[in-house]
Structure formats: structure tokens, C-alpha cells
Amino acid sequence: MKKHPALSVLAVCVVVVGCGRDAPTAPPDDPDPGNASVASVTITQEDIAFGAIASSVALQATARDSSGAALADVPLTWSVDGNAVVRVDSAGVLTSLGTGTDTVRVVAGPASDFAGVRVSQVPVGIQLQTPTISLSVILGSTVAQASVVDSMGNGIPSTAITWSSTDPGVIAVDQTGRLTAMSEGTATVTAASGSLETSRPVTVRLTGPLGGAVTGAPAPCSGGQAAALFPCDGIDLLSYLPIGGLGGGEGVRVNDLWGWTDRTTGHEYALVGKTEGVAFVDVTDPINPVFVGQLPRSSGSPPSAWRDLKVYNDHVYIIADGAGSHGMQVFDLSQLRGHGGVPMNFSETARYTSINSVHNLAINTETGFAYAVGSSGGSRTCGGGLHMINLQSPQSPQFVGCFADVLTGFSGTGYTHDVQCILYDGPDADYQGREICFGLNENALSISDVSDKAAPVAVSRASYPNIGYAHQGWVSDDRRYLYSNDELDELQGGANRSRTMIWDIADLDDPILAAEHFGPTRATDHNLYIKGTRLYQSNYQFGIRVLDIDDPVSPVELGFFDTAPSRANAPGFDGSWSNYPFFDSGILVVTSWDEGLFVLRLAN
């Protein structure tokens, strides 16, 4: 270590003030004449090195006279060159401030000494900022913050960290530290750098207003309840996925749904509408449903409480209302094959843009035509009536025409809230082989013949007592009856219990209200579907009801399952939104607004 030569008192005298007769006996700026005996001073430590920022060391120095004898009680003055690497206080305590080099100096009387200082950060460990990590949403993610640190716990910049997970099927991790929930369970996530590493257990636990998921074992309806939570009768719970298990986080709700059976693999899928897009769930094993992935809403469109979807030729077509320029998304469902354990974020296959926001969608799978209804934006709104689309080239939908019965609807434009279109094979010989649509048009039932898309015609219309809002309906398998619901009659006092209208449509030119069926509660009724002689009703706050319609005008309840047990079974829009009963396996899938997806089966 290089030392500055100590300056002698004589040298100071000659250089600074001269040696005349009247020269003072001690330097005028030295208040302590005793310092005149200091010939040298030496810093005890040499090559001072720090391995961490904010470390300290107490420096020591020894002053000596000209004979080399150590002097006691000599005042020492400490300083540094000022490179912001270290600081030193008046007692000689040296503290590291940052990495680099600097010089520390000591002065004793006329003598001084210096020592070099080097500050570096030596890695001693890896620090995770989050002591515990948990996730409650499948495909939900968080970024784990980790840094390599020195012995004082200071992060060392630009030090590479690699990440790993003991079970990527539960927690996937990328090399930025982003953790993504894949399924319920616990996995250990490790951050490593060289030989250093640290680990944390990460738990994925799905939660919702009803608690966690119900999977792995069925919960039979026994004593009026399933899973000690859901009121029921005659319907067993096979499994339940809360919204978090469908890729939905805070504020996300589910709405409509449909189903798809992959004829290549035999797998059955529930296609679940959400405010943020669509979730795909493999329900082939109904006790252990698998969230396969999700399709986000159209780019640039806001979340929507109203999303509808239908399937044709292994493609799902998705619309949304109050969703700006959402259009109609097209997704090739064959992409779901081979996925089941690592949820995916999928991309749309195509998009149809001749509509923007639309309330509902129907597809006649026998003819390959779709009917978007309740349009509120886009180049061809069709007055909110039937916007007709050719899907025969599934990824290239083509607009083919409009139909609206302007004598229906509250605004006089023929607004259609929902519709079912079929290739007619019912009892009315006049319309055999024709493509007939049954529209629920707010204030009326509207029947139309759309066989000629260039010249569709109104066949008939009908209303019913105490109408609130003609909402949705479905035709019986024998085409003799149509069952419809009203979304506002219970709220407005037009019906004191859940009401289902039963229409005799044997003569399409003259539909007749044959009967009304009333449920046991005042819950608002929503979507209903028919398979065989069973009618499946989603009745919002009460849940799902199944009716036997073997006697078409006198339905008999077979069972119910309350998906919203915290609700009061009163009029309102929480609870079961929709259901899909058409799987060959016989399972019933049901969506519930705040709760999620239920997989059910009739006990008998």
C-alpha cells in the first residue's frame, strides 16, 4: 500500500511560514503544541474490502514521534475522497455506501496516511419478498419478486435468477417469476442463482360465495340437501366449479352456456359464458371436470353481462350485448382436443363484423344458418330482429338477410329477444320442410317462415295475459307445443309464482295459449330447454327445476337443485342463468351468476 511521506515540522516551517527569527515555535493553526512531536501516522488496516453495502468497520491509526515511539491521545482527523462509495465519521467508523473504490485518509498533526477501500456485493442468498403465496383463480397469476442479496440483505442488481416449479400442473412459472395457477393443489416454487436457491410453497385453492370447488366424489341429494349446502330434490350434485375455477377473478360472473360433444374423441364440453369471455370445461368425467382454457372477449370490447353462444359443425359462435364492437367470434372447438391439465388462453379463429353488440344467438344446425337477434349496433341491426347468417363455411360467415315483424316488440321495430329456428317436421302440413323461427319479441310470440332468406314472411303472432317481458322459449320434440317464459311478470306482479306459458302450435297460423304452469316460488324464470319429455328451467334465484311434460299441458315437477342457497327464492336476477341438458351421457350442466358451474344428474 502506497503511503504519503510524513512531513517534518522543519519542512512545514520552511515551506509554509519561513524560518525567520520571529517565526512561531509551532504552526499557528495547530492549537495543540504537543502535535509538534508527531512524525508519522499509520492506518492499521490495509486493503480494506467490504462484501456488502451498509457494512461498517472501526478504523484504527497510530501516531509516532521521530524515534518511532507510539504517541497516545493524539487527535485524529478522518476523511474520504468523496466518491460516494464509503463514508467515515469522526471516530473513524467507515461505512460502505455503494460498490466501487475510494480512499480513506487520516491526519494527525502534520502527518497523514491513506488506505484504499473496495466495496463489492458478494452473493450470500436469495430473498423472496412475499413470505406466502396463494392463488384462487385458475389461470390467475402473480409475479414473485426475488433478488440475490449480500450479507446485509441488499439486492444485487443484474444477477440472473432461474425459476422452477415442482408441479407445473398446479403452478406454472416462467423466467420472469410469473406464477400461473393451473389447478387446485400445492407446488413448491424455487428461485435459483448459481449454487444459491430459495423455495416457497404456493397453494391454489378455489373459493367463491359457496366456498371451494366440489370435485372428486358426487354429493347425492339426501334429506333435502347436497353437500350439506344446496337445497335439492331428486337431483344429485356431481361436481361444482366456482368462478375462480373457470378463469374468472374478482368481479367476473358467468352467464349463458352451451355444450359440445367431440365426435372424434367422445369428450363432452361445457362452454361457459363469462363477463370476460368463454371458459371451456371438459365434463367427460363429470365428477372431475377439467378447465381446459378460455377465449377472451373480442379485442377492444368491454366486459358484458350478456354473452350468448351456440355450436355448429365443431365451431362455437359467440356474441355479446352492451359490448361495443364485439361482433361474432368464431372458435374452432377442435383446438380443445389434447388439452386437459394445462389450461390455455386461446385466440379466436375468425370474427364476423357485420354486427356489433347483439343480445342472443340461435343456430339451426340442420340448415347451417345462424340468427343473431337483439342487435344494438353494427352495419346491419335488422331493427333488432333476425340478422341471418350463412355458416355453411364455418370460418367465413356470410350475411344473407333480415327479418323483423314490426307489429311486435315495444319499439315497433320487431325487436326479438330470443329465438329458436328449426327445419319444421311438426303436425302442420302447410309448413312441412320449411325453416320456421319462433321468436320471443318482448310483448308477443312471433312465428316466421325464413326458408327464403331474401323474402322471409311473418306467419303469425300471439300475446298472453299479464305480459311483462316475453323472454325465451323452446319447442317440444314432437313440434306440437312451445314452452316460453316471461322475465318480468313476477317482478311486476303479473304472476305471483314462476310462470311458464304452454302454447299449442299444431296450427302455426294460429298459436293458442293452452295452459300456464306455476312453480312453487316467486323466483324469476329465465332460460328453459326440452329434451324428450323433460323440461329444464333455470329460474334464477331458485336454481334449476326439471319438469315431466309427458302430459304436455300439465307438467309435473321431477326435481330441483338450488344453485344460490343464500338467495331468498324471490324475483330477481341472481342465481341460475341457463342450463344445457343435451349431452348423450345424461348429465346436466348449469350456470349460476355469482356461483359458477354445476354438473348435475337426475337421481331417477
pLDDT along the chain (604 residues), means of 10: 33 28 38 69 94 97 95 95 91 96 96 96 93 90 94 94 95 95 94 96 91 93 95 97 93 96 97 98 97 95 96 98 95 91 92 96 98 86 96 98 96 96 98 98 98 98 97 98 97 96 98 97 96 97 96 98 91 95 98 97 91
C-alpha cell at 319: 356474441
The residue whose grid cell reads 515540522 is 9
What sign results for the dihedral spanned by CA atoms 297, 300, 303, 304? negative
From the list 253, 265, 377, the residue with the least C-alpha distance to 326 is 377
From the centroid of its chain, how far is CA 484?
34
C-alpha–C-alpha distance, residues 334 and 313, integer Å: 10
C-alpha cell at 442: 318482448
Residue 296 near residue 349 (C-beta atoms within 8 A): no
Torsion angle of C-alpha atoms 410, 415, 421, 425, degrees rounded to 10 = 40
First-to-last CA distance in the chain? 94
Rg (CA), the chain: 40
Which class for 220: exposed (0-12), middle (13-18), buried (19 or more C-beta within 10 A)? middle
> Residue 107: how many CB atoms within 10 A of its CB?
18
pLDDT of residue 36: 62
**3-state secondary structure at position 251:** coil
pLDDT of residue 380: 85
Residue 413's alpha-carbon distances to 122, 384, 427, 436, 473, in angstroms, are 76, 7, 31, 20, 20
C-alpha cell at 405: 315483424
The CB-based long-range contact list for 85-88 (8 Å cut-off, 24+ gap) reads: 85/117, 85/119, 86/50, 86/117, 86/119, 88/59
> Residue 12: how many CB atoms within 10 A of its CB?
16
**H or E stretch at 492:** helix 489-492
Residue 237 near residue 600 (C-beta atoms within 8 A): yes
DSSP bridge partners of 8:
none
* Residues written for the chain: 604
